[in-house]
């Protein structure tokens, strides 16, 4: 056999087997072709046996040619074999027939209370604005709940019809606002200080759709050099943006609280109608959100901070009010009834 | 405080619409709670009489009504009111008539032209009752009468919410002054004809000058107690008052007008020829108008004559000296009483009046004289009579202190940049005296503004009158100090999220419970904090445990048809230790029904049992250094045998297990299978820090060798006893184990049980040889044999 004849034989084998491999219909057929081409008595094996009669020169040409063809056919066979192996598995899988629309296993899933949902959102934003979490007792003395906060002795808030009094050795009250944390904190810490105080407060109000003797507030206090009403507006704007998105806007209305001067009511532009007027804002375009102001110099003085050196702002907001608005809960009592049909929605 | 727009206009020229005025007031911090339109706000409506009613050809309920407008002119309109009847005199609005903001246009109603409309009282804006039917007028009214003349002129009543620092706004004059500053308009005081006094008023003796800073008295003799004129009656009615007679009405009128309360005594009843302002004797009894008898204390301030008390100062007159229908001579009082003095008495007796509401917040001490002059003038005009001289006892003239400040300080407080000119303008209008010529400005507030004492107060005034929109919004700037959250807060959140992960719903309950619950939970009321002024029975104490509220939550949820409940709460519990309050952050929960909220169709339902609860406790408390031990004595509210203590450092910090069926029954729960847990976090807080990072232990490189161990022993040996023996086995290798099976039954002798463990032996530095494992296994078998009598099965 000449080298030319060898080459031509190679081409013939290549052509024949590539066509056959391509046309193979099963894994078994592929294996038959493997034996037919590459087996001990296979066509290519037979052809290669003839190499031993070639001259060294011819072997150098024919050898690589034969090996390349062997590799080529092996690869084609492997690929076809893999195709049939995968097909076999997929055919098997495709026989599966389960109803995917049946319900899933009830994996445990608990629910945060809606007030916690609201409070967590608010404290998260305040924490990002650098407010440190501070706390104070719920059973409080009048000094920290009223006196230090510049609430005059004969102020109506100190009446039994507004505040709960308890039967302890010293005359104590259930704190009527989270502002007791202000006086507690300022007594112990020097400015700069920047705190939030979320928590429960108590008022002697009968339980009805809009009042509860127990409710939640979040207090904010910032005292440093040169803190102004503009800082309050800036920080509260940032807070409301965190709560309602980048378009949130606030406005101040003058008000009165004993512990701040100037005092303001803070309204936020209605997030439901963008200020156009809707049912939530009672066609007003604005929603009353919280009370705030510049810390009264007497409060600073009472807590041992020099009002000629430092100034501050404070704010207090109701968690229920916000949660009712955001979650469309119409009756404050729903928060304290703990009906799982409501709780499981959050 | 109610303000009548037309009355306000007596004091200041304003031509704002009621809506515009309300906006201005709101911007000043005077909240307008409501606005009510009164009087006739319509034109072109006249009296007409119905002379014929025919059916509408195209409608079952409409009628064609023909009316006589007077002088024989008739008109036909379509009307759907059910109450039309021939002969009625009714208000007929012609085409072009104005009803409020609506102008009537010609209309064709179901094919018939209507030349006007018969009005209901709602349509005329006289009522807001939504009642059906036309307004039927007095049959004696002449035809053609302009109906608007039958009602007062259109007016608006503003209901204002006045904050407690602004008593000066409790009058029409006060609101006018506020608007005067805002709108830069002069305030016109009422025209008062000065009455020359004839004869002396009563001498006045003020015994308590702190309680009474000024007392002005005047006698008017020979008055006739007539009906007040219509204009005064109308204004008082707008204030929500029932006009009585001129002598009473004038004092009220002046109070609503100028803000200073007045009191009129019947001079017949004033004995001893003098007036004394004094404190009550302890135990002194006094009967106020209306007949209520008060037992006074020495803190109560009284007005007395030479013999007896005649009025509870500033609050209410006595039943013994009030104005009668036949009163002829009166003594009028205009005074200033100290707010705390009045407030104490008001609070003590829960007695209040329009007068006390003004005195206890602070009336204008200077305004008292004006009020006296105004009242005298009105009395004489309306009731006639001769006035005496005015006796004005005013020992110490009051002036507000002078506030010194710079405009820079005002802007610094506000963080604003209000121009100096504008500030000057505002302060000059606001002040009694103002000097803004130097770098340091001097401001003295008028006597009706005792609330302006320092630069912070003036900053607020500047912001109010310049507008709060002048406060800019800039970037947040803050010096931030980092500190950890309070530990109790962090732990509460950690446990809450673990429990929520395990399928629990978070509850929030009101912190009050009653004696019944205290007893049921074995809490001694002496160690509980009692609320002195509880809102309701059953809300007398602060909760020493969260469980009663949660059990009630189970009860109500079961009642509403929910089941498979897993509820928890994190809040504070309260104790009273030797008279001092102790507050503890506490975690508690209750479970009933199945582990899964909804049964899965393919598996049997799985009721909560003790081991599920214990597993939950192990998971939730895995990071706390706690141990569990069967309660030596279960709490009264727990199952006596299924109650486990949670211990930390040897102290019991909580409990979990099954609730006692009697506890559940007492709280009305309709199942006896409820599980509960509760622990206080105080002990855990001590060892907790948000910054404590526990170093990680190496993970073993070599896999362990596993062997099963099955032993038989007496059934009464507890698992704890077995593992305690197992843990103490002296071994040269490391051992980890877990329980695979506990069996008791037919295949074993009576009183015996078998326990099977999977043991995992390992060594840090290599794989174990069989021999090493054999030795260790044999030691364990020996240990269990000697310690707990276990035989290899």
Do A291 and A256 have their domain in common? yes
For residues B18 and B167, membership in a common domain is answered with: yes
Residue B743 has pLDDT above 80, yes or no: yes
CA distance B119 to B722: 95
A107 domain residue, yes or no = no
Residues B234 and B271 in one domain: yes
In a domain, B253, yes or no: yes
Average pLDDT, chain A: 92
Give the pLDDT confidence score for residue B767 in this predicted structure: 87
Domain shared by B58 and B34, yes or no: no
DSSP structure string for B157-171: EEEEE--TT-GGGSS
Same domain for B463 and B507: no
Residue A310, domain CATH: 3.30.930.10
Q: Which of A28, A63, A93 is the endpoint of a domain?
A: A93
B482 lies in some domain: no
- Residue B194 resides in a domain: no
Measured over all CA atoms, what is the biggest interatomic distance in chain B, rounded to whole angstroms?
132
Calpha distance B672→B244 (Å, rounded): 67
Subunit contact B596:A108, Cβ cutoff 8 A: yes
- Contacts of residue B470 in chain A, CB cutoff 8 Å? none
A174 with A50, same domain? no
Closest-CA distance of chain A to residue B497, Å:
8
Written as one string, the DSSP assignment of A224-280 is ETT--HHHHHHHHHHHHHHHH-TT--EEEEEEEETTEEEEEEEEEE-TTTTTS--TT
Closest CA to B212 of B318, B120, B109, B342: B342
List phi, psi (to 5°) of A33.
Answer: -65, -35
Residue A183 within a domain: yes
More confident residue, B455 or B75: B455
CATH no. for residue B723?
3.30.70.380
Question: In this complex, which of B29, B481, B562 lies closest to A340 when CB atoms are compared?
Answer: B562
pLDDT value at residue A161: 80
In angstroms, the separation between the Cα of residue B560 and the nearest Cα of chain A is 8
- What are the pLDDT digits (tens) for A4-62? 888 888 899 999 999 999 999 999 999 999 999 999 999 889 888 888 888 888 888 88
Amino acid A1: pLDDT? 79
Domain limit, last residue, from A93, A122, A141: A93
Report the number of distinct structural domains present in chain A: 2
The whole-number pLDDT of residue A128 equals 93
Does B632 share its domain with B742? no
For the record, the structure tokens of B607 come out as 């009721």
* pLDDT at residue B131 in the model: 63
Task: Please indicate whether, in this complex, the C-beta atoms of B506 and A256 are within 8 angstroms of each other.
Answer: no
Q: Helix crossing, B407-414 with B455-466: angle to 10°?
A: 70
Let me know whether A234 and A321 are in one domain.
Answer: yes
A267 chain-B contacts, CB cut-off 8 A: none
Task: Tell me what pLDDT residue A158 has.
Answer: 84
A165 in a domain, yes or no? yes
- CA dihedral sign of residues A304, A306, A309, A315: positive
Cis status, amide bond into A342, omega within 30 of 0: no
A 10 A CB-CB count for A321 gives 19
| Same-domain check for residues B500 and B595 | yes
- Residues B451, B491: one domain? no
- pLDDT over 80 at B481, yes or no: no
Helix axis angle, B420-430 to B172-183, nearest 10°: 160
Range of the domain at B434: 402-468
What is the total count of domains within chain B? Answer: 6
What's the pLDDT tens digit per position in B768-782? 999 999 999 999 999
Which residue in chain A is spatially nearest to B462 when comparing CA positions?
A: A262
The candidate with the shortest Cα–Cα distance to A163, out of A172, A174, A154, A171, is: A174
In terms of domains, do B120 and B235 share one? no
In this structure, the answer to whether residues A77 and A129 fall within a common structural domain is no
Q: Given a cut of 90, is residue B106 above it in pLDDT?
A: no
CATH of the domain at B30: 3.30.56.10
Q: What is the pTM of this model?
A: 0.83
In a domain, B124, yes or no: yes
For residues B211 and B343, membership in a common domain is answered with yes
**Cross-chain residue pair B164–A255, CB shorter than 8 Å:** no
What would the pLDDT profile of A242-271 be if each residue is shown by its tens digit?
Answer: 999 998 889 999 999 999 999 999 999 988
Report CB contact under 8 Å: A102, B601.
Answer: yes
Query: Domain range spanning residue A63?
Result: 3-93
First to last CA, chain B: 91
**Pair (A149, A242) in one structural domain:** yes
Residue A103 lies in a domain: no
Beta-carbon separation of A168 and B580 below 8 A: yes
Rounded to the nearest integer, the mean pLDDT of chain B is 93
Assign residue B49 the CATH number of its domain. 2.40.50.140
Burial B687-714 (b: 16+ CB within 10 A, else e): ebeeeeeeeeeeeeeeebbebebebbbe
Asked if B533's CB is within 8 angstroms of A160's CB, the reply is: yes
Average pLDDT over residues A85-94: 95
Q: Which contiguous run of DSSP H or E holds residue A116?
A: helix A114-128
Q: What is the pLDDT of residues B414-449, one digit of tens each?
A: 999 999 999 999 999 999 999 999 999 999 999 999
Q: Residue A105 domain-assigned?
A: no
Q: Calculate how close chain B gets to A90, using CA atoms only, in Å.
A: 28
Q: Evaluate whether residue B476 is within a structural domain.
A: no
Q: Could you tell me if A24 and A123 lie in one domain?
A: no
Provide Rg for chain B, Cα atoms: 42
Q: Do the Cβ atoms of B669 and B676 come closer than 8 Å?
A: no
Higher pLDDT, A49 or B457: B457
Shared domain for A317 and A217, answered yes or no, is yes
Residues A136, A139, A142, A145, CA torsion sign: positive
Looking at the fold, whether B99 and B114 belong to one and the same domain comes out as: yes
pLDDT in tens, B676-698: 999 999 999 998 998 878 888 88
Q: Determine the straight-line distance between the first and last CA of chain A, rounded to whole angstroms.
A: 86
Q: Is B643 found in the same domain as B580? A: yes
- Mean pLDDT across the stretch A68-85? 94
Helix (H, G, I), strand (E, B), or coil: what is residue A26?
Answer: coil
Q: Do A165 and B532 touch (CB under 8 A)?
A: yes
Q: How far apart are CA B385 and CA A139, in angstroms?
A: 61
Residues A142 and A195 in one domain: yes
Do A162 and A68 belong to one domain?
Answer: no
B509, B557, B600 member nearest A105 (Cβ): B600
Q: Is the pLDDT of residue B129 over 80?
A: no
Closest Cβ opposite residue B460 in set A192, A233, A262: A262
One domain for residues A119 and A63: no
B-chain CB neighbours of A309 within 8 Å are none
Whether A218 contacts A119, CB under 8 Å:
yes
Highest-pLDDT range among B39-53, B685-699, B745-759: B745-759
Q: Report in angstroms the alpha-carbon separations of A290 from A225, B196, B209.
A: 24, 55, 41
Residues A68 and A158 in one domain: no
The Cα-based distances of A255 to B30, B163, B460, B525 in angstroms read 8, 7, 9, 43
- Given this model, what pLDDT does residue B760 score? 95
Please indicate whether residue A310 or residue B193 has the higher confidence score (pLDDT): A310
Mutation to test the A interface, candidates B314, B479, B547, B552, most A Cβ within 10 Å: B479
Are A89 and A119 in a shared domain?
no
Segment among A107-111, A315-319, B519-523 with least mean pLDDT: A107-111
Q: Which residues of A touch B413 (CB under 8 A)?
A: 228-229, 262, 294, 311
A184: exposed, middle or buried (Cβ count in 10 Å: 0-12, 13-18, 19+): buried
> What pLDDT, on the 0 to 100 scale, is given for residue B608?
96
The 10s digit of each residue's pLDDT in B378-412 is 999 999 999 999 999 999 999 999 999 999 999 99
Q: Is residue A109 part of a domain?
A: no
Place of tokens 């056959």: A20
Give the residue from B760, B694, B695 showing the smallest Cα distance to B733.
Answer: B760
Weakest mean pLDDT among A276-290, A307-321, B328-342: A276-290
ipTM of this complex: 0.87
Whether residue B134 is found in the same domain as residue B209:
no
Out of A93-97, A249-253, B111-115, B557-561, which region has the weakest mean confidence (pLDDT)?
B111-115
């Amino acid at each position: 056999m000449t080298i030319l004849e060898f080459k031509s034989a190679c081409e013939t084998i290549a052509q024949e087997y590539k066509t056959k491999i391509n046309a193979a219909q099963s894994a078994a057929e592929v294996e038959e072709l493997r034996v037919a081409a590459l087996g001990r008595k296979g066509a290519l094996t037979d052809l290669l046996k003839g190499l031993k009669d070639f001259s060294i020169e011819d072997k150098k040409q024919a050898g690589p040619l034969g090996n390349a063809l062997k590799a080529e056919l092996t690869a084609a066979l492997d690929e076809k074999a893999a195709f049939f192996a995968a097909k076999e598995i997929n055919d098997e899988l495709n026989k599966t027939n389960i109803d995917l629309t049946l319900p899933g296993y009830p994996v445990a899933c608990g629910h945060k209370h809606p007030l916690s949902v609201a409070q967590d959102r608010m404290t998260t934003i305040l924490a990002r604005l650098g407010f440190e979490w501070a706390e104070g007792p719920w059973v409080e003395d009048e000094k920290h709940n009223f006196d230090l906060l510049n609430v005059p002795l004969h102020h109506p808030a100190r009446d039994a019809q507004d505040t709960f009094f308890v039967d302890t050795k010293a005359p104590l009250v259930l704190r009527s606002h989270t502002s007791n944390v202000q006086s507690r904190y300022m007594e112990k810490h020097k400015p700069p200080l920047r705190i939030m105080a979320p928590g429960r407060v108590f008022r002697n109000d009968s339980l009805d759709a809009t009042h509860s003797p127990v409710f939640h507030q979040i207090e904010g206090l910032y005292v440093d050099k040169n803190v102004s009403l503009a800082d309050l507006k800036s920080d509260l704007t940032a807070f409301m943006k965190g709560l309602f998105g980048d378009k949130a806007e606030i406005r101040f209305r003058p008000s009165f609280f004993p512990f701040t001067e100037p005092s303001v009511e803070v309204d936020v532009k209605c997030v439901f109608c963008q200020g156009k007027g809707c049912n939530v804002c009672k066609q007003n375009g604005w929603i009353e959100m919280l009370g705030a102001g510049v810390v009264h110099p007497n409060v600073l003085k009472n807590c041992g901070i020099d009002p000629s050196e430092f100034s501050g702002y404070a704010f207090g907001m109701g968690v229920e009010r916000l949660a009712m608005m955001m979650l469309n809960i119409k009756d404050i009592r729903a928060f304290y009834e703990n009906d799982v049909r409501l709780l499981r929605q959050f | 405080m109610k303000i009548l727009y037309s009355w306000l206009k007596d004091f200041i020229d304003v031509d704002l619409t009621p809506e515009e005025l309300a906006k201005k007031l709101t911007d000043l911090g005077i909240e307008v709670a409501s606005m009510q339109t009164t009087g006739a706000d319509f034109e072109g409506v006249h009296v007409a009489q119905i002379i014929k009613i025919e059916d509408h050809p195209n409608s079952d309920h409409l009628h064609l009504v023909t009316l006589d407008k007077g002088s024989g002119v008739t008109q036909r309109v379509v009307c759907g009111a059910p109450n039309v009847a021939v002969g009625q005199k009714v208000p007929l609005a012609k085409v072009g008539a104005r009803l409020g903001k609506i102008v009537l246009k010609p209309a064709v109603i179901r094919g018939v032209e209507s030349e006007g409309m018969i009005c209901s009282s709602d349509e005329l804006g006289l009522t807001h009752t939504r009642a059906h039917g036309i307004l039927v007028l007095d049959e004696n009214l002449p035809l053609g009468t302009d109906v608007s003349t039958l009602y007062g002129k259109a007016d608006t009543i503003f209901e204002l919410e006045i904050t407690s620092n602004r008593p000066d706004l409790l009058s029409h004059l006060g609101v006018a002054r506020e608007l005067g500053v805002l709108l830069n308009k002069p305030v016109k005081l009422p025209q008062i004809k000065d009455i020359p006094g004839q004869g002396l008023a009563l001498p006045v003796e003020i015994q308590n000058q702190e309680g009474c800073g000024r007392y002005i008295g005047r006698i008017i003799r020979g008055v006739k107690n007539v009906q007040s004129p219509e204009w005064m009656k109308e204004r008082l009615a707008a204030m929500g008052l029932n006009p009585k007679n001129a002598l009473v009405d004038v004092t009220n009128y002046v109070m609503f007008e100028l803000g200073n309360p007045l009191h009129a005594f019947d001079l017949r009843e004033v004995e001893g020829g003098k007036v004394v302002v004094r404190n009550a004797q302890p135990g002194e009894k006094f009967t106020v108008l209306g007949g209520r008898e008060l037992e006074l204390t020495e803190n109560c301030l009284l007005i007395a004559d030479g013999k007896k008390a005649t009025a509870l100062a500033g609050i209410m007159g006595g039943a013994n000296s009030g104005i009668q229908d036949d009163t002829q001579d009166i003594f009028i009082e205009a005074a200033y009483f100290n707010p705390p003095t009045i407030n104490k008495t008001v609070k003590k007796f829960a007695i209040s009046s329009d007068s006390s509401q003004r005195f206890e917040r602070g009336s204008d001490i200077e305004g008292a004289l004006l009020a006296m002059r105004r009242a005298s003038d009105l009395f004489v005009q309306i009731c006639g009579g001769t006035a005496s001289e005015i006796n004005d006892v005013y020992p110490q003239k009051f002036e507000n202190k002078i506030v010194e400040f710079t405009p820079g300080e005002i802007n610094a407080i506000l963080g604003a940049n209000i121009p100096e000119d504008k500030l000057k303008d505002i302060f000059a209008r606001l002040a009694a005296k103002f000097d803004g010529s130097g770098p340091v400005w001097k401001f003295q507030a008028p006597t009706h503004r005792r609330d302006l004492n320092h630069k912070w107060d003036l900053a607020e005034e500047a912001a109010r009158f310049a507008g709060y929109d002048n406060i800019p919004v800039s970037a947040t700037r803050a010096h931030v100090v980092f500190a950890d959250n309070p530990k109790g807060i962090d732990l509460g959140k950690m446990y809450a999220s673990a429990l929520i992960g395990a399928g629990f719903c978070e509850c929030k309950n009101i912190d009050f419970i009653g004696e019944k619950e205290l007893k049921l939970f074995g809490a001694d009321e002496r160690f509980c904090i009692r609320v002195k002024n509880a809102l309701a029975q059953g809300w007398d104490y602060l909760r020493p445990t969260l469980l009663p509220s949660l059990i009630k939550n189970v009860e109500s949820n079961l009642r509403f048809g929910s089941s498979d409940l897993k509820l928890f709460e994190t809040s504070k519990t309260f104790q009273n230790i030797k008279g001092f309050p102790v507050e503890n952050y506490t975690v508690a929960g209750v479970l009933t029904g199945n582990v899964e909220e909804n049964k899965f169709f393919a598996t049997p339902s799985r009721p909560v049992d003790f081991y599920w609860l214990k597993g939950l406790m192990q998971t939730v408390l895995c990071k706390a250094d706690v141990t569990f031990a069967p309660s030596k004595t279960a709490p009264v509210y727990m199952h006596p045998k299924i109650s486990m203590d949670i211990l930390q450092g040897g102290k019991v910090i909580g409990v979990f297990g099954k609730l006692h069926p009697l506890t559940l029954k007492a709280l009305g729960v309709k199942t006896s299978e409820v599980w509960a847990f509760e622990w206080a976090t105080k002990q855990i807080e001590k060892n907790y820090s948000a910054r404590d990072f526990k170093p990680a232990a190496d993970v073993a490189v070599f896999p362990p060798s596993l062997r099963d161990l099955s032993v038989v022993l007496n059934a009464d040996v507890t698992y704890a006893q077995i593992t305690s023996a197992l843990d103490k086995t002296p071994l040269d290798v490391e051992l980890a184990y877990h329980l695979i099976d506990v069996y008791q039954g037919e295949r074993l002798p009576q009183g015996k049980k078998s326990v099977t463990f999977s043991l995992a032996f390992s060594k840090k530095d290599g794989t174990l040889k069989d021999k090493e494992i054999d030795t260790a296994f044999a030691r364990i078998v020996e240990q269990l044999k000697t310690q707990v009598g276990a035989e290899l099965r």
